[in-house]
A and B are shown apart, each in its own frame.
Chain A
C-alpha cells in the first residue's frame, strides 16, 4: 500500500531554534499534503493544506510565519517550526493525497517535537 514517511521521527531542541520536519510520499505522487498537530489524548488539528507548487493554505489561528510549509515537489513537503517554544511541543503528522476525490489520504507516522 501507499507509504508516507516523516523525518525526523523525534526531535528535541532548545527554545528559540527552528526545526524542519520532512514528509515524503514514497510510492505515489501527492498533489496535496496536509499538516496536522495532535494534542495529547485529543483530536488531530489541521494546520494547513499545501498543494504542490503553490502557497499553503493555513487554518484559522495557525501562524503562517511561525509554521512555514513548503511543497516543492510531488513527493516532498516540509514544515519548519521557527523560533520554537515549549508550547510548540507536540506531535506533528502529515498526510499525502493524490488529489483524486476517490483516493484516501495516507498518513505519516508523525514527528514528536519537544522544545526545552
Chain B
C-alpha cells in the first residue's frame, strides 16, 4: 500500500531550528509538497520538490532524497506564528495526492 509517515507532534523553542521528517512509500513519484496549516484555515503552500537536493526559501528549506523515499522541512529562527500543522504530500504515478497525517509543531517561548 501507499504510505506517508511523519511525526505526530513536535515541540521547539522560539528562535531555534526544527526539522520535520517525512518518509514515503508510494507507487511512483511525481513530486512532494510541504504545506503549513493553521487550525481552521486553508493550507499554505511552502515547497515543492521533484529533484533530489535542498531548496531554500527564506527561513524554510526542504530536502528530498528520492532513492531513500525521504524528505524533510527545516524551519530556522522559529517564531511563535510558526506553530501550526505541517503536511507532507506526494503525487504518485497516477497523479494522485497521498497525504501524510501532518505534524503539529508547538513553539514555546
Contacts and interface: CB of A to CB of B under 8 A. Distances in A.
Interface string B78-91: 00000001010100
Given A107-B99, A110-B96, A44 B42 contact: yes
Contact of A1 (B43, B95, B101): B101
B94 A44 contact: no
Contacts, number: 46
B50 to A, nearest CB: 8
A93 interface: yes
B47 to A, nearest CB: 10
Interface in B35-80: 35, 37, 39-40, 42-45, 48, 50
A42 B45 CA distance: 7
Interface stretch (A20-28, A67-75, A97-105): A97-105
B95 A41 contact: no
A104 B98 CA distance: 16
B41 to A, nearest CB: 9
Interface string A104-116: 1101011010000
Contacts of A1: 101
A46 B40 CA distance: 13
Given A1-B101, A109-B97, A110-B97, A104 B85 contact: yes
Contact of B39 (A38, A43, A93, A101): A101
Contacts of A34: 42
A58 interface: no
A34 B102 CA distance: 18
B31 interface: yes
B85 A43 contact: no
Contacts of B50: 41
Residue of A38, A91, A110, A112 with highest tally of chain B CB at under 10 A: A110
Interface string A72-104: 000000000000000000010100000001101
Q: 7 tightest A-B contacts by CB?
A: A43-B45, A110-B97, A46-B42, A109-B96, A107-B99, A112-B95, A41-B48
